[in-house]
Amino acid sequence: MAKQQSAEPPKNPVLDEQDSKIKEKLGQIDNKIMVMSGKGGVGKSTVSINLAIGLSLENFYVGLLDVDLHGPNVPKMLGVERGELQRRPDGTVGPVYYSPNLKFMSVEPLLPDKDSAVMWRGPLKMSAIRQFIYDIEWGKLDYLVIDAPPGTGDEPMTIAQTIPEAYAVVVTTPQEVSLLDVRKSISFCKQVNMPILGIVENMSGMLCPHCGKVIDVFKRGGGQKLSEELGIPFLGRIPVDPRIVTTGDAGKPLIAAYPNSHTAEAFEKLVRNVINRTQAVAAEQREKKVQEAGEKS
């Protein structure tokens, strides 16, 4: 008699073991936030880094995961290029330390030299990102900030699949074309069921180095208008500030290098809004789960 075909795919013990390790590691991290955008160069890495430092300055334990495998900018922008992973006596490996309560992981410490290019495609990228979670001892964290490459490709998709409880922060610039791309990020989040914490408008007006006031060079307020239109909270606007480029290149992010500046204040407002929104969305999600459980029983 022919054997009956099972509808379930065959089990893969290696993947199962990885999945249970991922679950265990993620269980120690309270909030996971992916910073994404539809378009390149809008300031995701800048926002991720200043957000992570801002959260760590509020005494939270923070991890920063750079899943931009082809252009890992986090180590350079943090001033920790060729940083050492922590190799522990028990054989486990921990992320690179930036400060006592901020640690980060990127593909950069694994490359033979800083000019090496990553040539990986789909499945290899997915397994590298999974490995960044199950093979790295992140320890107990309040926040894990994830810096994604632009678009809705393998990397954000892997995060959505591997960290189903992650939230998204969408970065945009005020121009029309960038706002069109935001809609794509938002539709990605809807499709993968990732709650959106809100929109950040970066390069929103320019901080005049002479008078210290914000001048409207591009259209300002587009991100806020879009957030109102779409009913998605607005998390804040960061002005164009030439010091963001110099501090990024020098490896001392603005929020740490110029803590009393107008731009650092804008980042601090963003940090507070992210904390408040995370708490609100986490409460909504808990309520949703209770309701779903109630409907099932």
Q: Which of 20, 71, 286, 288 binds ligand ATP (CB under 6 A)?
A: 71
Residue 99's Cα: distance from chain center in Å? 18
Instruction: Give the residue with the Cβ less far from ligand ATP, 18 or 202.
Output: 202
203 binds, among Mg ion, ligand ATP, none (CB under 5 to 8 A by kind): ligand ATP
From residue 16 to residue 55, what is the string marking binding to Mg ion with x (rule CB under 5 A)? ----------------------------xx----------
The site string for ligand ATP over 190-219 (x = CB under 6 A, - otherwise) reads: ------------xx----------------
Cβ of residue 106: shortest distance to Mg ion, in angstroms?
Answer: 11
Residue 248 contact among Mg ion, ligand ATP, none, beta carbon within 5 to 8 Å by kind:
ligand ATP
Residue nearest to Mg ion (CB): 45
Instruction: Give 147's contacts (C-beta < 8 A, 6+ positions apart).
Output: 35, 44, 45, 48, 49, 64, 65, 66, 67, 68, 73, 74
For residues 106-145, which are near ligand ATP according to CB under 6 A? none
Residue with Cβ nearer ligand ATP (41 or 139): 41
CB of 146 to ligand ATP, least distance (A): 12
Residue 241 near ligand ATP by CB under 6 A:
yes
Binding span for Mg ion by CB under 5 A among 73-81, 175-183, 197-205, 221-229: 73-81
Shortest distance (Å) from residue 100 CB to Mg ion:
25
The distance of closest approach from Cβ of residue 37 to ligand ATP in the complex, given in angstroms and rounded to an integer, is 6
- As given in the structure block, the two tokens for residue 155 are 């990397």
- Contacting residues toward ligand ATP, per CB under 6 A: 37, 40-46, 68, 71, 73, 149-150, 202-203, 238, 240-241, 244-245, 248
- Contacting residues toward Mg ion, per CB under 5 A: 44-45, 73
